[in-house]
Chain A
Amino acid sequence: DARVTQTPRHKVTEMGQEVTMRCQPILGHNTVFWYRQTMMQGLELLAYFRNRAPLDDSGMPKDRFSAEMPDATLATLKIQPSEPRDSAVYFCASGLLDWLSYNEQFFGPGTRLTVL
């Protein structure tokens, strides 16, 4: 049963610390998405990659957030330095997508981040 996995599932850190969240997309999927969910803002798209290349990161605060795909099996989202307002659940999703195929995304379980 192929699934998107995310680590860690929970992270509590102090303001100013670096946070790295990891995602393993489903094998064979070529597109990876990062979302952030809060009660106030709902589910926001931060960035997405296709074939490991960033296609859109316009939803991501550039000064402190960075997203990468070191290889096809790993996507990372890093926050440095972290702030209390970054507290949220961060979801990774993957899909086998191209310009013609429909957009079925498979979501991971999320990383619940708390910044004190």
Chain B
Amino acid sequence: DAKTTQPPSMDCAEGRAANLPCNHSTISGNEYVYWYRQIHSQGPQYIIHGLKNNETNEMASLIITEDRKSSTLILPHATLRDTAVYYCIVSHHNDMRFGAGTRLTVKP
């Protein structure tokens, strides 16, 4: 049972911000929103996570709506190396279930 909905694919121009949306309308109060990405043929890589507040780290920013039913991952200045599948996951700190994700293609 999918807990998140993401667009299957998106394009972004190199140097521009990439905004990846995720809907998680059935998220429960103690579940976090996690983002991972998988670059071709590699294992997934953790990006960021959040509960209620917006979060920022060296890789990305995470904006969570006030009702927590959706979120957006922002890569502020996308590079060609950011081309990957991005997974949005809701989880309560234990196992995580990966969906189909969004395939982001950064174009020159």
Contacts and interface: CB of A to CB of B under 8 A. Distances in A.
Interface of A: 4, 33, 35, 42-45, 48, 55-56, 91, 93, 97, 99-110
B98 A103 contact: no
B49 interface: yes
B93 interface: yes
B98 to A, nearest CB: 4
Given A97-B94, A99-B94, 20 more contacts: A4-B43, A42-B98, A42-B99, A43-B44, A45-B95, A45-B96, A45-B97, A56-B94, A91-B43, A93-B43, A99-B93, A102-B32, A102-B34, A103-B93, A103-B96, A105-B36, A105-B46, A107-B44, A109-B42, A109-B43
A108 B95 contact: no
Interface string B12-50: 000000000000000000001010101001111110010
A103 B91 contact: yes
B53 to A, nearest CB: 14
A100 to B, nearest CB: 7
A97 B93 contact: yes
16 contacts: A4-B43, A42-B98, A42-B101, A43-B38, A43-B98, A97-B93, A102-B34, A103-B34, A103-B91, A104-B49, A105-B36, A105-B96, A106-B46, A107-B43, A108-B43, A110-B42
Contacts of A44: 98
A4 B45 CA distance: 12
Contact of B93 (A35, A93, A102): A102
B10 interface: no
A87 B2 CA distance: 24
